[in-house]
Structure 1
Amino acid sequence: MKNIIKKIYSKTGIKSNRTKNITKHVVISFFYKGGSIISSLMIVPLTIKFLDTENYGIWLTLNSFIAWFSFFDIGLGNGLRNKFAEAKAKGDLTLAKAYVSSAYFTIGCACLLLMIVFLGLNFFIDWTKIFNTSPQLQKELALLMPIVFIFFCLQLLLKLITTIYTADQHHSMQGKINFYTSIGSLMVVYILINIAQSSLLLFGIIFSAIPVIILIWLNLFAFSGIYKPYKPSLILWKKKYLKDIFGLGMSFFIIQIAGIVLFSTDNIIITQIFGPEKVVPFNIAFKYLSISNMVISIILTPYWSSITEAYVNNDYDWIKKSMQNLSKISLAAIFIIAVMVVFSPLVYKLWIGTSVNIPFSLTFYMGVFFALTIFYAPYTYFINGTGKVKLQMYSILITAFINIPLSVFFAKNLGMGVKGVIIATIICLIPHVILCPLQYMKIINKNAHGIWNK
């Protein structure tokens, strides 16, 4: 692996230490992400075989529902990412540890409160109505939901360690965690098919536990090794440190909520209008074309914290050159999406056979969605890295409010079906496609004022 990375440095003429570090972690991430993508694709037909189409649709919708609660990190994860990187760039290690401590203990308390409230409400919720499924599943869902939710809360807290790795420009760590999770999940499904009867409860418990077990190990490994100087300490939890993280984190918090509404409600909308079985073709098309987004995210992720460090040190030349390269990569990725859409019928047939029918029109609009997302993604990472996120916050908040009623209107009232949901989301992306590049140009040319510079 080291020899491959050295050859890339030599052939591409990379000299900047910052860019060398990014390239190293991108190459490593491609290896792990490639394994994750292959595993996630292989797991779909196996899961359908184990659960059947309806229960798989319930599981997908359940995950979308649980994802709504990820905003209970109150944006502290992204706030910690920027503030930890800034503190390290300035050489203030005590401040960096204080930020880590404040984030861990605050999110820990929020998760504990969240679990208590959820366990209390669970007795009064009819999950079969929420997931639009058979009343006979209520007992199983009433038992599964709190278990999955508890594991989710633990994951919300424990995944802060990957934020620290990323902020410290060890960008490939998240890819490694996803890889081990995907491989573990694939192995578990294969074993379940051979030794167990179909059970949504068993499936949900095991799949929820796997990432938590891996993250527990990573936290113990990191805070007893490389990040021992930053091990969370209750003594360092102070309001002023929390305020520093939360000041920036609040904007990220609102963006997270709006992002969840904009990008994670589609499965729930489809379930309520058409039933959980219709979530499956939508999700398969999404999973197939999301490969392009996964690849581009491998490249973009390291730039967030690197841009933070470069922006603090006024290294605008490096930022400009990096953004030019990222824009070219995005255009190449959009071309690949077009090719993926053209060959999608063949891919679906080889991948899942004839068990699920995915209309070509659904794949086409899903391709448009990912093409737009990838086009403005580099500018979003730049904006997040600089912390100038107020404009992004307002724009995504407005479009999030529009998305759900627009999705219902297109899918149900206009009779567009499932594809109407993704068309509505595409329309909601248009303001971001325009505003993000425009804000980047203003900031990088040092003529951003007012909302453009907040």
Structure 2
Amino acid sequence: MRELISKIQANLGIQSNRSKNISKHVFWSFVYKGGSIIANFLLVPLTIKFLDNENYGIWLTLSSFIAWFTFFDIGLGHGLRNKFAEAKANEDTELAKGYVSTAYYTIGAICLVFLALSLIASYNIDWTKVFNTSNALKDQLELLMPIVFGCFGLRLIFTLITSVYTADQHHSMQGKVSFIIAVGSLFLIWLLTKTAESSLLFFGAIFSLFPVLILLGLNLYAFSTKYKQFKPQWAYVKKEYFKDIFGLGINFFIIQISVIIMFSTDNLIITQLFSPEEVVPYNIAYKYMGISSMVFTMVLVPYWSSITVAYVKKEFDWIKNAMKNLIKFAIIAVILIVIMVLIAPYVYKVWIGNLVIIPTALTICMAVYFIVTVLYAPFNYFINGIGKIKLHMYSFAIGAIINIPLSIVLVKYTALGVEGVIIATIICILPNLILFPVQYIKLINNTATGIWDK
């Protein structure tokens, strides 16, 4: 396999060590992500058959609801990613170890508080009203929610290891973890369909715990082998390390909250304004059109930390060439999206048959959404990589503020229906098509001032 990768690199004229490393991890990302996409696609019809449309809609909404709480890492994951990469680039092992230890212990403490609060809240909330479902599921939801909250807290801690791998230029590790989780989940749901009766509680408990076990295993392996010298230790937890990570992380924190509001509230809005069943076609269209974004992200992901290192070392020519290539990939991704819209009816028929009907208008709206995100993504990753994210933060924060009310207005006072929810999100992110490229041009040409340079 190494010889194959080397031949591909030689044929493409890839010469620098950084570019060779990126291309290697892009190759493996395609392998892992391709496997994940196939597994996740096969997972949908199996899950619908096991749970039925209503329960599957509840699970999708519940998953989105839990995703809102990713802000509890207060941006430390992204802050660790950038600061660890900088410390490694400057060959400062002690500083890198301090960042890892501080991030792990801080998020660990936060998750303990989160878990206590979630347990108290989960027994005082009528989850059937939250998810707009029948009282028949009340007992199951009361038992399931503490399990889901607990597993989420643990996952928030253990996911930090992927930030360490990515910052250390092992860009495909996150894809490998997702692949293992996706394939394992597919096997588990297949096993459930053969051995168990339909149960939202049983399904939710298994699918919440499984990713935690995978990530725990990776942490134990990493900190006993490759990253043994960076193993989290209380002695290395210091206020100044927290300030370094959190100083950058707080901006990522606000961006995370904004992204959650814009992208993870859709399922709950649809559930409340329509029904849990309507969440299913929406998510299927999202998953299908999202393939384009997944493929493009495989190319993008390695560049974040590589740009961080290149920017620290002032290798601006490499960054310019990298951005030119990413823009070309973005255009290819847009063409792929258009093709996907044209063949969508045939794909849906093969994929889910008559289990769910997906309106053409919904597919087109999803396509427009992904075209917008793909076109500004290269500039977004550059900005994230160098940490000049103040404008990025304001843009997403404003979008988050108007997203929910705009979604409700478009659904209630127009004939758009469910499509109004994704159209509202498109409107909120549209300014980024102008703001992010302009900021990149100013930063790379050293003409950025004020908000453009923060």
TM-score, scaled relative to structure 2? 0.99
Residue aligned with 1:125, SS: coil
Could you tell which deviates more after superposition, 407-416 or 388-397? 407-416
* Paired residue secondary structure (1:440): helix
Which residue identity is paired with 2:243?
Answer: K
User: How big is the shift at 1:123?
Assistant: 1.5
Q: Distance in 2 between matches of 1:99 and 1:356?
A: 47
Task: Report the secondary structure of 1:124's partner residue.
Answer: coil
Residues 423-453 of structure 1 show CA distances to partners (whole Å, capped at 9, x for unaligned) of 1111111111110111000000110000000
Counterpart code for 1:406: L
Aligned to 1:289: 289
Other-structure match for 2:439: 439
1:48 maps to what in 2? 48
Rounded to whole Å, the distance in 1 between the matches of 2:311 and 2:415 is 48
| Residue 396 of structure 1: aligned partner | 396
Counterpart Cα distance in 1 of 2:140 and 2:208: 16
Question: For residues 325-379 of structure 1, what are the alpha-carbon distances to aligned partners after superposition, in whole Å with 9 as ceiling and x for unaligned?
Answer: 0000000000000000111011000000011010000000100000110000010
User: Take 2:208 and 2:7, find their aligned partners in 1: how far apart are those partners?
Assistant: 40
Structure 2: how far apart are the matches of 1:161 and 1:398? 31
Deviation of 1:415 after TM superposition, in Å, equals: 2.9
Letter in 1 for 2:132: N
Structure 1 gaps of 5+ residues are: none
In structure 1, the residue corresponding to 2:388 is in which secondary structure? coil
Q: How many Å apart are 1:135 and its aligned residue?
A: 1.4
Match of 2:410 in 1: 410
Structure 1 partner of 2:167: 167
Question: Map of 1:200-239 to 2, 5 A cutoff?
Answer: 200-239=200-239
Shift of 1:122: 1.2
Q: Which whole-Å deviations, capped at 9, do the CAs of 1:259-290 have from their partners, x for residues lacking one?
A: 10011111110000001000000000000011
Report what 1:138 is aligned to: 138
Do residues 424 (structure 1) and 438 (structure 2) align? Answer: no
Provide the secondary structure at the position in 2 that maps to 1:354.
coil
CA separation in 1, counterparts of 2:151 and 2:196? 22
Whole-angstrom distance in 2 between the partners of 1:276 and 1:83: 42
CA distances 1:372-403 after superposition (whole Å, capped 9, x unpaired): 10000010000000100000000110011000
Deviations 1:188-238 (A, max 9, x none): 000100110000001001111111111111001000000001000101101
The corresponding residue for 2:347 is: 347
Q: For 1:157, give the aligned amino acid.
A: I
Partners of 2:239 and 2:369 lie apart in 1 by: 41
- 1:176 counterpart = 2:173: no
* TM-score normalised per structure 1: 0.99
1:18-44 CA distance string (max 9 Å, x none): 000000001011111110000000000
Does 410-419 or 268-277 show the bigger shift?
410-419
- Whether 1:3 aligns to 2:17 is no
Matched, 1:329 2:338: no
**Cα deviation code 1:121-167 (max 9, x no counterpart):** 11110001110000121111011011011001100000100000000
One-letter code aligned to 1:271: T
Counterpart of 1:374 in structure 2 is: 374
1:124 corresponds in structure 2 to 124
**For 1:197 and 1:390, how far apart are their aligned partners in 2?**
50
Distance 2:141 2:132 in 1: 12
Residue 250 (1) aligns with residue 271 (2):
no
Q: What is the total number of aligned residue pairs between the two structures? A: 454
Deviation at 1:411, TM superposition (A): 1.1
CA shift for structure 1 position 316? 0.3
Greater displacement, 182-191 / 1-10: 1-10
Q: Percent identity?
A: 61
| Alignment RMSD (CA, Å) | 0.5
Does residue 85 of the first structure (1) align with residue 92 of the second (2)? no
Q: Which residue of 1 aligns with 2:188?
A: 188
Task: Give the 3-state SS of the residue equivalent to 2:286 in structure 1.
Answer: helix
Q: Counterpart of 2:360? A: 360
TM superposition shift of 1:67 = 0.2
Which amino acid in structure 2 is aligned with residue 70 of structure 1? T
**Which residue of the partner structure matches residue 157 of structure 2?**
157
Which deviates more from structure 2 when the two are superposed, residues 411-420 or residues 287-296?
411-420
Matched ranges for 1:269-280 at <5 A: 269-280=269-280
Using the alignment, how far apart are the partners of 1:172 and 1:211 within structure 2?
Answer: 17
Query: Which aligned segments of 4 or more residues in structure 1 are displaced greater than 2 angstroms?
Result: none
The aligned counterpart of 1:95 is: 95
Inter-partner Cα distance in structure 2 for 1:218 and 1:154: 13
- Indicate the residue corresponding to 1:450 in structure 2: 450
- CA displacement 1:98-130 (0-9 Å, x = unmatched): 000000000000000000011011111000111
CA distance in structure 2 between the partners assigned to 1:344 and 1:217 by the alignment: 38
Gaps of 5+ in 2: none
Matched, 1:114 2:103: no
